[in-house]
Amino acid sequence: MERVRILSLKGIGNRQSAMIRAGQMEAARVWTLCRDRHLAARQEHGPWPNREALQKATKGRFALHSQSVQMVTHAFLANVDTAQQLRNQGRSEIRYPYKDKTFYPLIWPAQAMHLRDKRIVLPMGRGRPSLVLPRPEWLDQPRACKVVWNGLHHELHISVAKESEEVPRLETTNRHATVDLGQIHQAAVATNEGDALIVSGRGLRSLKRQHSKQLGEMASKRTRCTKGSRRWRKLGRTRAKLTLRAERRIRDLRHKGTRQVINFCKAHGVESLFVGNPDGVRSKPCGRHHNQRMSQWEYGRDIDYLQQKSEQDRIACFTGDECGTSSRCPVCGHRHRPKGRDWRCKVCGFEGHRDIVGAVNMHPIAYGQVVPFPKRITYLRPGSLRWSSSPDTGHRTDSSIRRCLAKARNQAPLDVCAGSLEHAHEPCDSARSLPA
């Protein structure tokens, strides 16, 4: 498995910045040529151009390295294949590449990169000077890379291959788990052995809400400026800085939250993980405020992160539909739309955490097995934020402070703790209940 490391190019000179800008404009022309060839073939109902045809059409016509041109054609064909697969699944609104591009990232494969002492040399084509960038200490051999614009400055994304490790022989445990993704809680995990985990998502929501307010404030200020003025450009740079900072913080919390899910599964010997896909939830209109929160819900990234991390830890991970799992009682099967975070059944009197109910009801869908409601629920936060009055997002210096979730009725007494995994086996004696 490969991962990407980001090298900031904020301190490069004007000459190199101009080279990158010109190269990205040239790469956009390569993309436009591929788009035109593909569009003409579709309009004439002829055979679509393949990799060989596009490479022949672009050979020697652009002021770029030949392998960089090939990588752009490969990326274009990958987009065409993805669009075709989605259209075959009934997504008729998906369009093939059709837009004109002004800039496109510069891409080099591993064989095109050269390492010289403390420099990275990236060729720009025959007869043109190469792009020379600082070499980080961890880069020991040539790797595939890409230069992208992040809205404020350029970045070098380097693909780092993880060293292959000998896979040990694992014992069959017959333990599996399901994951219910959400906004208030990033993930709710329930195993077939009676254990459960809830990872809070309130920190992610607060960061996104803060960023939305900042964007609104910047937009309001720019409306009072003349377009292209010094203050107008300064506000644009400030908006880009705030966006980059918010993206870094959100990505960090998202990685930490999904890592806690995988660590929980690994600690409980889970060998198979099912992740519910809540794709149909976002299509329901719920008012402009909630629609904004739903549009900012990046559950696709959570699914990708869980699949990648489970593959690293040799846990089988797959996804599927979760329709109706949060509205059905796990005891009697009665259906109703719950309000709040506590699921209360009007027929049998069952009461439990709403997201855990959804995760428990996924077991019959994924594994064909009905499991009881978990007797142990661990509550974790994805990471530390600045001090806040909210108990769900504030950073607590005393790690020994733990709070409990309300005990579920019609079930055995629960040992539900909020804290780290090393305290999951300890019963919690606090009488306070943790707000959902």
State the average pLDDT for the chain.
83
* Confidence bin at 1 (pLDDT 50/70/90): low
pLDDT at 349: 82
Q: Which of 285, 286, 271, 368 is nearest to 320 (CA)?
A: 368
pLDDT at 11: 86
| pLDDT beyond 90 at 353 | no
| pLDDT beyond 60 at 395 | no
Pairing of strands 2-8, 154-161: antiparallel
| pLDDT beyond 90 at 103 | yes
> Which residues are CB-neighbours of 237 under 8 A, at least 6 positions away?
152
| pLDDT beyond 70 at 162 | no
pLDDT at 264: 93
CA distance 421 to 181: 20
Which has more confidence, 38 or 278? 38
- Is residue 157 helix, strand or coil? strand
Instruction: Beginning with the edge strand found earlier in the chain, give each strand of the sheet holding 154-161 in spatial order.
Output: 2-8, 154-161, 145-149, 106-108
Model confidence pLDDT, tens digit, residues 355-393: 899 899 999 988 988 888 888 888 988 877 654 444 443
The predicted model gives 102-110 an average pLDDT of 95
| pLDDT beyond 70 at 57 | yes
pLDDT at 348: 86
CB-count exposure of residue 307 (10 Å: 0-12, 13-18, 19+): middle
Token couple for 368:
């064909």
Query: What number of other Cβ atoms are within 10 A of residue 425's Cβ?
Result: 10
Q: Which of 123, 133, 116, 108 is nearest to 15 (CA)?
A: 133
pLDDT at 421: 37
pLDDT at 391: 42
pLDDT at 327: 83
CA distances from 167 to 20, 54, 152, 262, 365 (A): 42, 40, 42, 18, 30
The predicted model gives 162-188 an average pLDDT of 73
Model confidence pLDDT, tens digit, residues 280-302: 777 777 777 878 888 888 888 99
Token couple for 404:
């409990």
The predicted model gives 143-172 an average pLDDT of 76
Model confidence pLDDT, tens digit, residues 7-20: 999 889 999 999 99
Q: Using an 8 Å Cβ cutoff, are 375 and 196 in contact? A: no
Percent of the chain's residues with pLDDT above 90: 55
pLDDT at 174: 83
